[in-house]
Structure 1
């Protein structure tokens, strides 16, 4: 019975602690509401038919001047306010506006309490922030959240990123710091997008000589105007609200198809959203509206590169350069477009322009690409020179060294290529085996089998349990006519994998080339045990016995070969030679007659041996 009672006491204490904290927060917010509430009104906008069209909030800069969001009153034929006590406040009309930032000044007939002016500079990320505004019923209430950061939204001005859960009628309400100082105005835009406007923007709005009655202004839906969508779109873009920004910018170009700013912003948004087809269309529209926009040609070129439309991309980059886009990035992209088309000469020319004028790092990157182009043009000396310079500027870039090794190899300078690959293996041990394999393949392709041996031995050190590594070493030695060493390497391969048939075959071939025909035949016999259906193994046994002058032993393997490949003229001719040496002219003549039909060339060679 004691344990439940103890738990109940603990639970009661925990609930009391939570309740006390909640009470403290509510009391603090209520204090701010009591202090600042008289400086906030609910704004209700009415249409010509006296029907309510929008509800928002406003904050007092002076006893008879309040600020709200312009979009709250932009369609109004009339408007009225409600103070914190629910009493009506007469609004004379519009007293000033900054449409570019969604701000409107309203002149009151009555009086309200001006809010104390603070500064955004007093806020730090994570600071507590309070918003006052109207709820759906028109009552002025308070909400608490946090300040995140100021954001430079370009032409949309300096804005505030805040996190405060509020309903839409809070639009136009004040943002207060912990001390109750006015630091900004809260906007609630389309799709629930919330943004703060700093107090400095509010107090800088020019006031009209006198208020303009709402019925005297031309009503407009702010978010159906170019100005409203520009502000909302740029703000959304600054806050990385991509879809919201896209919708506003698409409205702009629909309202005004010749709006350059809208098309430029849309192109950037589409690019970030990876809608490359739409991005290319927007950039093309900009270049049609203003052919001098080099940056639009550059953006178009970048998009076309992503779409692998390299020819069109090169044309776009050329136009960008012609319109004054002279930065190294344009020429680098141009070189890349020509390189993708394998137009190595034009690519090299573009990279040379970068190398001559760009900052050191960009110049080194250009020389890297230039070296690759020169290699593809078979201008190996120029390629090596460019890549050595690139290596000086980018000493840790292994791709530069790999390109240098390739240039050396194609120039026939295998020793230099070897030095580069060995250095790369030291710099990047995790990829050492890959570099050694490249070197082995390079040396083999160049016919430099002597230079294939060192990297193969390195590979074996790194991977001694792989039978193919020993096999390739054996082949490199075989190609140097080092047959005894080759046999040893092939036997090492078999030590790892005893049923590795090809190793036995190559042992046989090595012994054969060393004129050890008996040993060759024995090795080939091991091969056919593992690969009995391979006719070449049986023929190799027979030929080895022929060379060893053991003609009788040659008969059966050669017959087996002809069973597997009945029309193999070489196998039949060798079998006939065995019969001839055994004085079996009859059998040899039978083969000769068959060869006359299936392989006249071999028959002609055999003819002189048949009497």
Structure 2
């Protein structure tokens, strides 16, 4: 058996403790370390992400300090990292027998049960920790997480508010609160909370940012921009605030301003594909297609799975009437997001412009299957059938469209046009009455499609009756 040496170690100097420990391992000796020294050594290896070495230290520590619960607790934490759950729980049971008043035991066990989705047991442990811990904001945050995982967002909100009462600067709680209000679609209460919070903490950039997000969700874009501006004023490197401000400007159709703001994010974080794509969309809206395409290409170079950027390249080519090339990029986008109705719509339109009627028809079928509420898609689909003199098919498509969109007057007016074209005047007049009772203001749609109907006295009498009505 090796001799055991006792050193009068200065536990305040972690570096010295680590060096002595490593010397002991190299020499296959047994040195004595006080509890604080062992804690320092363990923490050193944890910080270096060397869980195996940290566990070895804890084993030594437990042998030399068998009644110190702290090493059982650290061992449990390390076993959790190694996914040795049962062993971790055993360590926590032993620690609880030695020192039942240590809140860390219940926090770690609560975490374990939370990750195992044993939410009732997680809550029991967190509640126990609450009664023992001096600082409780993180425990309250974890209780809120559990309630979120259980789908109880209202209770989660109450715990998040308690967490913020304990620590007004808990950023995670601020963001989680915004998330819960979002899930409950309760932006008004979210705004009320953040405005009150800001009254007490006017320099909380996170609160201003979340307030901006809540305004954005209510389409109050001017107010959102003001809130993002305050967040940026407090923290000028807050890239997410610049990005969301850019999005708000896009919604106000201030595309050049949005580009300028998006570009500011590059001063504070590495350029990313989403921002390049957003800038590309702004240039597209400004019809500066070369610039737009350049930014979309930067986006796909950075993230080849960003479907919107591939689609954007297609849109710029489509705008230049390069439909065949556009199709190539639309299909690349579709490969990444096969159920995107907008992509199918663009493909249908490009195929139609190329004169590929069967392909266009097939794509339109997919659009209305994915987005049966897309009135424009139904109208375009029926239109390509009408152009091919397939009147019955066009009428069938509009009939399906009306079933899905019974309040869309445009569909009734189009049906009137098709029925007149087919010579079914009685049914056409019945549909005209229906269209006019749905929305008389849109009767111009009928004449755009069949201008000759303006010469029809019966039709004009019916229209005038509703317009004067």
Q: CA deviation at 1:403?
A: 1.3
Q: State the secondary structure of the residue aligned to 2:60.
A: strand
Q: In structure 2, how many angstroms separate the alpha carbons of the residues matched to 1:145 and 1:355?
A: 59
Give CA-to-partner distance per residue, 1:360-416, whole Å, 9 cap, x none: 6xx223322221123234544332122113224444443212211233344554543
What pairs with 1:142-221 in structure 2 (closer than 5 Å)?
144=28, 152=36, 158=39, 194-196=59-61
Q: In structure 2, how many angstroms separate the alpha carbons of the residues matched to 1:370 and 1:353?
A: 11
Give CA-to-partner distance per residue, 1:212-238, whole Å, 9 cap, x none: xxxxxxxxxx8xxxxx48355335357
Aligned to 2:222: 381
Match of 1:420 among 244, 251, 261: 261
CA contact (8 A) 1:297 1:320 kept: yes
Match of 2:211 among 366, 370, 384: 370
Q: Which has the higher contact order (CA 8 A, sep 6+)?
A: 1
CA contact (8 A) 1:439 1:452 kept: yes
Does 2:160 correspond to 1:317?
yes
Does 2:236 correspond to 1:236?
no
Aligned to 2:22: 127
Aligned to 1:537: 384
Does 2:264 correspond to 1:434?
no
Q: State the secondary structure of the residue aligned to 2:185.
A: coil
CA 1:301–1:151 in 2, change beyond 3 Å: closer, same or farther? farther
CA 1:285–1:493 in 2, change beyond 3 Å: closer, same or farther? same
Q: In structure 2, how many angstroms separate the alpha carbons of the residues matched to 1:267 and 1:334?
A: 21
Q: In structure 2, how many angstroms separate the alpha carbons of the residues matched to 1:569 and 1:378?
A: 37
Match of 2:245 among 395, 401, 404: 404
Aligned to 1:453: 287
CA 1:302–1:569 in 2, change beyond 3 Å: closer, same or farther? closer
CA contact (8 A) 1:294 1:320 kept: yes
User: Hey, which of these two has a bigger chunk of strand by percent?
Assistant: 1
CA contact (8 A) 2:256 2:282 kept: no
CA contact (8 A) 1:161 1:196 kept: no
Q: CA deviation at 1:435?
A: 1.0
Q: In structure 2, how many angstroms separate the alpha carbons of the residues matched to 1:597 and 1:353?
A: 61
Q: In structure 2, how many angstroms separate the alpha carbons of the residues matched to 1:367 and 1:453?
A: 34
CA contact (8 A) 1:237 1:245 kept: yes
What pairs with 1:288-303 in structure 2 (closer than 5 Å)?
294-295=136-137, 296-303=139-146
CA contact (8 A) 1:573 1:606 kept: no
CA 1:562–1:198 in 2, change beyond 3 Å: closer, same or farther? closer
CA contact (8 A) 1:425 1:435 kept: no
Q: State the secondary structure of the residue aligned to 1:128.
A: helix
CA contact (8 A) 1:409 1:417 kept: yes
CA 1:313–1:595 in 2, change beyond 3 Å: closer, same or farther? same
CA contact (8 A) 1:264 1:282 kept: no
RMSD: 5.3
CA contact (8 A) 1:151 1:160 kept: no
Give CA-to-partner distance per residue, 1:418-469, whole Å, 9 cap, x none: 432455589726445421355379xxxxxxxxx4423x44333356899965
Match of 1:493 among 309, 323, 328: 323
CA contact (8 A) 1:422 1:435 kept: no
Q: State the secondary structure of the residue aligned to 1:129.
A: helix
CA 1:532–1:233 in 2, change beyond 3 Å: closer, same or farther? closer
Q: In structure 2, how many angstroms separate the alpha carbons of the residues matched to 1:411 and 1:532?
A: 35
Aligned to 2:107: 267
Does 2:391 correspond to 1:562?
yes
User: Hey, which of these two has a bigger chunk of helix by percent?
Assistant: 2
Match of 2:122 among 279, 290, 309: 279
Aligned to 2:408: none
CA contact (8 A) 1:347 1:373 kept: yes
CA 1:306–1:355 in 2, change beyond 3 Å: closer, same or farther? farther
Q: In structure 1, how many angstroms separate the alpha carbons of the residues matched to 2:103 and 2:17?
A: 36
Q: In structure 2, how many angstroms separate the alpha carbons of the residues matched to 1:468 and 1:383?
A: 29
CA 1:245–1:270 in 2, change beyond 3 Å: closer, same or farther? same
Q: TM (normalized to structure 2)?
A: 0.55
CA 1:431–1:196 in 2, change beyond 3 Å: closer, same or farther? same
Structure 2 gaps, min length 5 = 44-54, 301-308, 332-346, 363-380, 397-414, 434-451, 459-469
